[in-house]
Amino acid sequence: MEDDKIRCEELVRRLNEASEAYYNGREEIMSNYEWDALFDELLALEAKSGYILPDSPTRNTGYEENNGEREAHEFPALSLAKTKLVSELIKWAEDKEVWLSWKLDGLTLVLTYDGGKLTRILTRGNGVTGTNITYLKNAIKGFPLKIKYQGHMVVRGEATISYTDFALINDTIEDDDEKYANPRNLASGTLSLDDAEKVKERRVCFHAFTLVYLDDDVVSWGERMDFLAKEGFTVIDREKTDAEGISDAVERWTKKVESGEMDLPVDGLVICYDDTEYAASGSVTGHHAAKAGYAFKWQDVSALSELLYVEWSCAASTISPVAVFEPVQLEGTTVSRASLCNISEMERLGIGEKCTLEVIKANKIIPKCIAVKEAAGAFTVPLTCPVCGAQTEIRTSQKSKTKTLHCTNPDCSAKHVKKFTRFVSKSGMDIDGLSIQTMLKFMNEGFLKEFQDIYHLSEHAEEIRQMEGFGEKSCENMMKAIEKSRQANPVNFIYALCIPMMGIDAGKKIIADGGFEGFLERLEQKKGFEDIDGIGPEKSGSALLWYENDKNRLSLQALLQEVTIEKTDRKPDAQGKCAGLTFVITGEVSHYKNRDEFKAYVEASGGKVTGSVTSKTNYLVNNDAASASSKNRKAKELGIPIITEEEFLSRFG
């Protein structure tokens, strides 16, 4: 009995420490898999011994955040009871109609509306009190600031960051102490920031999952969710079913996750009663309300495999280890790779030169190594960077004491992946298919070191087709996009060069003044650009300093061997067909390569392009003239003609 008490105390301490890190957006100290296993062990021990500590996570919900003003919830935000057995869901459903929806893995927020306006946003916190983050109301997508309903209303939902956005954001964070373990960790850390603009950049999206309170008498949960959707909320996906249909529904929804079509992080499913009055009639503990809903978490299926080798992959300033092992079947797919995160995690797991790995797919998506068996020998840390060959060094984080590997070369191309991202962007060379992750893969394979190497990727086409995530079609599309970009607009080309302080507007002014030849001549002869209206000495000096660098100059010369710069008129034509007219261009375009090229034509023809429709707008160009978009509505209100691209070309082309 005494041993059970000691173990309970240890489990409560470890679980609460992990929850504190988890809920405050810091580096996670244990995986969900480990947390669930320890939580289940604690539940069993408490039932056996009757020894339950006041701060046990089985009796408490959430965890208090460390930042911000604390406020009481109007309605407690309790946890749901959880199960890994479909049979338990069927039993819980009884003879009632129920709804199945996702259990999103983000940060729960509670929104309050009064008189048709959003008045408060609270984080879930410990379920009784939360942090007021109303100041972020313009930075989070997925809910309206104003609604038609004028009564008192409380909505609960999950703020998430997609896997795509998570990967993009993490790849551009150079400081390892600032990187995030997963999208949930990133969402939590993001919503603790004071800078609303920074939060907006991270594309946090709110998904309403329940209407907690409404002055009006709407009993059906399904009708409540439909009501929220009509008011402009992003509402969680849902399906109506019953005890007989739950098993099939769970199987269908699980396959959506296993197939990889879900970009939002989910860690299970939820069922709730359609009859909200019945749902509110259940008993309530400090942890959950018995009838409020039932969460289903997938059983983690593990497999054993022999480690073949550790691959070290460079991204930004960090070189991260990836376990490559004998392929195994997990959750319906073949898995042969899993991130090992960093040197500290390798040491914690006990990775050896040879060993057997136990692997799962966390939340049925991300391969993860959870244990090591029969390890022999010690793993080796590479002495040179896999991208540039420079010396590496191990650094220990001051905050988390985590050991990570780094390249010491400040010019390593993997450290400058942001520049490659700008080069291939729509405002640059407009090359589809080259995401940050793809370019980092190519850098680690040795395919990419300089911008000009992009135009030689066809030499590695066969190898690329064999890489994970690629195939014949995607490789072919990428190669076509690269070839198409060989015809370059001079303004976009200047932007793509990543000259500090030289954006699209500066490029337009330079090209309008002397064309691309004039741009090269000014660099070669060190004339600068400060005599051009709107450039000034600071931007001019920045461009000259950039060109003095041998690496930049040679890169420009090499690129000019790969691309053809399109000829353009030097100055806007004051007598051109668009002279004196202001246009707004919206939606997809087909005759021009993109909207930037369309805009360049209008400006070269003496016209002006703005981003919003006002009384000064002469024409709105939209190929979907019947669209109910805000720009179309505004144009109709002001009596401004809406024309298609075809009509534009017939009048002004």
479 and 457 Cβ atoms separated by less than 8 Å = yes
Contacts 24+ apart (CB under 8 A), 552-559: 552/497, 555/450, 555/451, 555/452, 555/497, 556/497, 558/450, 558/451, 558/452, 559/451, 559/452, 559/493, 559/497
The verdict on whether 401 is a catalytic residue reads no
Q: Which residues pair with 319 in a beta bridge?
A: 314, 405
**Whole-angstrom Cα distance, residue 26 to residue 66?**
11
Determine the residue type at 361.
K
169 and 202 Cβ atoms separated by less than 8 Å = yes
- Among residues 598, 590, 639, which one has the least CA distance to residue 619? 639
Question: Please, which residues have CB within 8 angstroms of residue 171's CB and are 6 or more apart in sequence?
Answer: 315, 316, 417, 436, 437, 440
Q: Tokens 């003609």, residue?
A: 641
**Whole-angstrom Cα distance, residue 205 to residue 42?**
34
Element (H, E) at 273: strand 266-273
Question: Please, which residues have CB within 8 angstroms of residue 297's CB and are 6 or more apart in sequence?
Answer: 36, 82, 83, 84, 103, 267, 268
**Whole-angstrom Cα distance, residue 401 to residue 466?**
38
Annotated catalytic residue, options 5, 103, 401, 484:
103
Burial class (CB in 10 A: 0-12, 13-18, 19+), 23: buried
- Among residues 147, 119, 125, which one has the least CA distance to residue 19? 125
Active site residues: 103
